[in-house]
């Protein structure tokens, strides 16, 4: 979404609430489907359940259709082609990690979310999720400071290496950790090609052309194309950490204005989880004094 002279006061409240409501709906779908997962459910079945949940609640189109990754596929190990991202017949087993990812479109608004979880018991997954919290803080602080997207990406890389993990968002097409999202404006008929909505792709490609004219990009990676501060607008950000055959991530909208940046919504499953863990840790500390 390319905008100029965007400040916190000039962002359209209706647009913010439209993006926020859809992001909440997308996370509700992932949360609901995650709660119903059990041994033997396939990635394809999980993705279909997300799609059904959202279409029943007014979603009309997709930036991309739902994904589900189970087990070692959460870390994108041995992924070589885009086709490997699509859901498979991999079945969920006890203790397995999973990631659910969807990007619905409703009334022109777009959300793109990522939800990490596991079936049963998995202490290592809990540790990775705990460590992911620092990346949400780092990204916001450095974007607010006006650092280039390239430098913020490298800052995430440095932090995850310090934590003992490796970068899995580099496996996404274009090595992106984020991309801009905006209201879909297209007269093309609704259609899905290779898992992506043609209307959303037309909007993204239009932004790509406009941004390149200004030596900027709506795609956030670690190359020189991202050697500029975040363009004002909405960014779907998805840091993805990997450790051996396990990956965890979140994906949510970061709002960037001319003079500030903020996460669109803090009432999200991973944020609530971090808050609960912090309260538990604080209570344990008090008990041990």
Q: In 3D, which of 6, 62, 2 has the Cα closest to residue 217?
A: 2
Question: Percent of the chain at pLDDT above 90?
Answer: 78
Q: Which domain holds residue 248?
A: 13-280
Residue 3 inside a domain? The answer is no
Residue 1 inside a domain? The answer is no
Question: Is 154 exposed, middle or buried, given 0-12, 13-18 or 19+ CB atoms closer than 10 A?
Answer: middle
Residue 99 inside a domain? The answer is yes
What are the pLDDT digits (tens) for 216-241? 889 999 999 999 999 999 999 999 99
pLDDT higher than threshold 50 for residue 4: no
Cα dihedral 147, 150, 154, 157, rounded to 10, equals 120
Q: In 3D, which of 212, 185, 211 has the Cα closest to residue 197?
A: 185
What are the pLDDT digits (tens) for 205-217? 777 777 776 778 8
Q: How confident is the model at residue 6 (pLDDT cuts 50, 70, 90)?
A: very low
Residue 285 inside a domain? The answer is no
Residue 248 inside a domain? The answer is yes
Which are the contacts of 65, defined by CB distance < 8 A and separation ≥ 6? Answer: 47, 51, 102, 192, 195, 196
What are the φ/ψ torsions at residue 139 (nearest 5 degrees)?
A: -60, -45
Residue 183 inside a domain? The answer is yes
What are the pLDDT digits (tens) for 139-168? 999 999 999 999 999 999 999 999 999 999
- Counted domains in the chain: 1
List the CATH number of the domain containing 88.
Answer: 3.90.230.10
pLDDT higher than threshold 50 for residue 2: no
Q: pLDDT higher for 4 or 73?
A: 73
Residue 65 inside a domain? The answer is yes
pLDDT higher than threshold 90 for residue 192: no
Residue 289 inside a domain? The answer is no
Share the mean pLDDT of the chain. 91
**Do the beta carbons of residue 163 and residue 131 sit within 8 Å?**
yes
């Amino acid at each position: 979404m390319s905008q100029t002279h965007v400040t916190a006061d000039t962002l359209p409240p209706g647009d913010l609430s439209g993006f926020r409501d859809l992001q909440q709906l997308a996370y509700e779908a992932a949360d609901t489907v995650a709660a119903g997962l059990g041994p033997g459910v396939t990635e394809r079945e999980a993705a279909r359940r997300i799609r059904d949940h959202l279409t029943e609640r007014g979603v009309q189109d997709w930036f991309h259709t739902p994904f589900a990754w189970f087990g070692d596929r959460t870390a994108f190990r041995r992924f070589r082609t885009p086709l490997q991202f699509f859901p498979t017949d991999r079945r969920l087993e006890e203790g397995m990690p999973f990631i659910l990812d969807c990007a619905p479109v409703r009334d022109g608004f777009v959300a793109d979310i990522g939800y990490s979880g596991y079936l049963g018991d998995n202490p290592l997954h809990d540790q990775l999720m705990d460590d992911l919290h620092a990346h949400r803080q780092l990204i916001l602080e450095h974007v607010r400071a006006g650092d280039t997207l390239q430098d913020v990406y490298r800052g995430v890389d440095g932090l995850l290496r310090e934590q003992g993990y490796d970068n899995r968002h580099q496996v996404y097409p274009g090595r992106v950790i984020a991309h801009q999202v905006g209201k879909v404006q297209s007269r093309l008929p609704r259609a899905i090609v290779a898992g992506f909505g043609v209307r959303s792709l037309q909007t993204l490609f239009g932004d790509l052309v406009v941004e390149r004219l200004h030596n900027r990009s709506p795609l956030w990676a670690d190359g020189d194309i991202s050697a500029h501060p975040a363009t004002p607008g909405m960014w779907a950000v998805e840091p993805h950490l990997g450790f051996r055959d396990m990956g965890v991530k979140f994906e949510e909208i970061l709002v960037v204005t001319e003079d500030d940046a903020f996460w669109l919504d803090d009432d999200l499953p991973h944020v609530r989880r971090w808050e609960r863990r912090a309260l538990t840790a604080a209570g344990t500390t008090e008990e041990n004094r």
